[in-house]
Chain A
Amino acid sequence: MKPIITAKDLCLWYGQSQALKNIDIDIPECSITALIGPSGCGKSTFLKTLNRMNDLIPGVKITGTVKYNGTDIFAQDVNLLRKEVGMVFQKPNPFPMSIYDNVAYGPRTHGIRSKARLDEIVEQSLKDTAIWDEVKDRLKKNALGLSGGQQQRLCIARALAVQPQVLLMDEPTSALDPISTLKIEELASKLKEKYTIVIVTHNMQQALRISDRTAFFLLGELVEYGDTDQIFSNPADQRTNDYVTGRFG
């Protein structure tokens, strides 16, 4: 499969401490790539580099290249990049406004004003995230009234509404109950037909269940990257083996 994101020799420092060390990775299109590893290993930092959310943290220094569809992400307009590379956060964070306005926020930001067009996008995004039937009668109600799992699916719908190519998910189910988690996982598996998904997860079962490729990070290094089956059944590196079999982490 053709890679949509390519990182070469990527290093990142928070002030003096190096959080990413010479990361080389190709992320294939229309697949799910899981980033696993113990806390503080750099997987979330790497994820946030892909849509340049790290730019917001003072004292961050980045070297190396990341290419999205062949263009250097650090050379292009950050707002256009983020339109293409959407993000879902660890804690569901819908805006304190109506369900409709939450989903319409992104398209409005990118200049869509037509009511009919917005209605269409909102409906499609909510259908894509399998939440339409639950909320279609209360689109004008405040999104904070939804359950945690519904809020997270709404956040995914909000991210999809700007028609991104890539969806970054930063432990999207860690704040959710098992049933909501299952729904998000099913959703991710469905969404990979159209989108490239990169997901950070602490839950190795989750990585095994849904991902096609898995990258194991440790202390800022990319230790091993390969097909999920191979990583979990027959890892090449001893450290990967120790981690996926639960010896540490």
Chain B
Amino acid sequence: MKKSSNLFENLVHGVFLILGLVTIACVLIISLYLIVSGIPAILEIGLVDFLFGTQWASTAAEPKYGILPFILTSIYGTFGAIVLGVPIGVLTAIYLSKLASESVKNIMGQMVSILAGIPSVVYGLVGMMVLVPGLRKLFNIPDGASLMAAIVVLAVMILPSIIKMSVTALDAVPGDYEDASLALGATPEETYFRVSLPAAKSGIAASVVLGVGRAIGEAMAVMMVAGNAPNMPDSLFQSVRFLTTAIASEMSYSSGLQRQALFSIALVLFLFIMLINALLNFFLKGEKKG
């Protein structure tokens, strides 16, 4: 009896171990695959020409493979989304965590969850049909599909994760701190901004990093609203291409060095995301300590 239950336990243990290993294996295989398939093109083009070349003309007679426009577009686009989305998200979180009544908090919390669940292609679609023509009319430009449109869409897309994580962080601030501030004669508003927010800062920072991760990895929605021309992002109203969309838009018809270069772009994107993950872990660790 004892023996068979041991056997069963070992079996279960083994199954779970294998399932865990599958996940790890996926990460390792993807990493390895990206490195192996991404490096040849970089070697052939030259690291500096690849990363800092300002021209991408993969199908020209004399092809150019400079991805600086994509890198800058991804950085600017993400940065813009953060500049737009973080204040809105954090202020919303303060409202939900500290000011809203229980019922408002519930309803708005559910809305935020729905926002998180909307597929990115739907964001792209709405952006394409509403935002792009709107921007064109508002700023009187020839085409609304631009960096600006992508920033707005990304800002909306990162809102749910920023709001949810910030609310969690703000809810976790001990009431003692707020009481102490109020007892010193500070107004509730002062208390939220000078005590609650600083006390929740590592959680909020983590939410921002998570937002950065979402924004930089998003492909479908930005492809639909950014215009997708491989320009340097000199202006907010220029048609631009992101790292993600650079891969997605050419992969289906690419070949040879062009295809290899797309893998190299994927490798660059992957490195960006690894960096963001490292930052996220750093902040979350800080939160546990603090």
Q: Which residues of A contact B (CB under 8 A)?
A: 51, 53, 56, 79-83, 86-87, 89, 91, 93-97, 105-106, 109-110, 155, 158-159, 162
- Determine the distance from Cα of A105 to Cα of B193 in the docked complex, in whole angstroms: 12
Q: Name 9 extra pairs, CB < 8 A, besides A109-B190, A162-B184.
A: A79-B187, A82-B183, A83-B184, A83-B185, A89-B180, A96-B198, A97-B198, A105-B186, A106-B186
Q: How many A-B residue pairs have CB under 8 A?
A: 64
* Contact partners of A110 in chain B: CB under 8 A: 185
Q: Which residues of B contact A (CB under 8 A)?
A: 174, 176-177, 179-187, 190, 194-195, 198-199, 290
- Determine the distance from Cα of A96 to Cα of B197 in the docked complex, in whole angstroms: 11
| Inter-chain contact A95/B177, CB cutoff 8 Å | yes
Please name the residue on chain B nearest to A77 by beta carbon: B185
- Determine the distance from Cα of A155 to Cα of B290 in the docked complex, in whole angstroms: 19
- Determine the distance from Cα of A105 to Cα of B194 in the docked complex, in whole angstroms: 9
| Inter-chain contact B183/A80, CB cutoff 8 Å | no
Contact of A89 among B176, B186, B194, B198 (CB under 8 A): B176
Given A95-B195, A95-B199, A96-B290; A158-B177 close (CB under 8 Å):
no
| Inter-chain contact A158/B185, CB cutoff 8 Å | no
* Contact partners of A158 in chain B: CB under 8 A: 180, 184
**Nearest 7 CB-CB pairs, A to B?**
A83-B185, A93-B176, A87-B183, A82-B185, A106-B184, A79-B185, A109-B186
Most buried by A among B177, B185, B186, B198: B185
* Contact partners of A82 in chain B: CB under 8 A: 182-185
Q: How far is the CB of A134 from chain B (nearest CB, A)?
A: 21
Q: How far is the CB of A117 from chain B (nearest CB, A)?
A: 17
Please name the residue on chain B nearest to A91 by beta carbon: B176
Given A97-B198, A105-B194; A53-B182 close (CB under 8 Å):
yes
Most buried by A among B179, B184, B186, B198: B184
A/B interface sample: 7 pairs, CB < 8 A? A53-B182, A53-B183, A79-B187, A95-B177, A155-B180, A159-B184, A162-B185
Q: How far is the CB of B184 from chain A (nearest CB, A)?
A: 4
Contact of A109 among B179, B184, B198 (CB under 8 A): B184
* Contact partners of A51 in chain B: CB under 8 A: 183
- Determine the distance from Cα of A56 to Cα of B177 in the docked complex, in whole angstroms: 14
| Inter-chain contact B185/A109, CB cutoff 8 Å | yes
Please name the residue on chain B nearest to A102 by beta carbon: B180
| Inter-chain contact A89/B179, CB cutoff 8 Å | yes
| Inter-chain contact B184/A93, CB cutoff 8 Å | no
Q: How far is the CB of B14 from chain A (nearest CB, A)?
A: 45
| Inter-chain contact B176/A96, CB cutoff 8 Å | no
| Inter-chain contact A93/B185, CB cutoff 8 Å | no
Please name the residue on chain A nearest to B199 by beta carbon: A96
* Contact partners of B181 in chain A: CB under 8 A: 95, 105, 109
Q: How far is the CB of A144 from chain B (nearest CB, A)?
A: 9
Please name the residue on chain B nearest to A94 by beta carbon: B180
Please name the residue on chain A nearest to B201 by beta carbon: A96
Please name the residue on chain A nearest to B191 by beta carbon: A109
- Determine the distance from Cα of A158 to Cα of B181 in the docked complex, in whole angstroms: 10
Q: How far is the CB of B197 from chain A (nearest CB, A)?
A: 12
Q: How far is the CB of B229 from chain A (nearest CB, A)?
A: 49
- Determine the distance from Cα of A115 to Cα of B149 in the docked complex, in whole angstroms: 45
* Contact partners of A89 in chain B: CB under 8 A: 176, 179-180, 183
Q: How far is the CB of B20 from chain A (nearest CB, A)?
A: 36
Contact of B180 among A79, A80, A83, A93 (CB under 8 A): A93
* Contact partners of A96 in chain B: CB under 8 A: 177, 198-199, 290
Please name the residue on chain B nearest to A144 by beta carbon: B290
- Determine the distance from Cα of A89 to Cα of B178 in the docked complex, in whole angstroms: 12
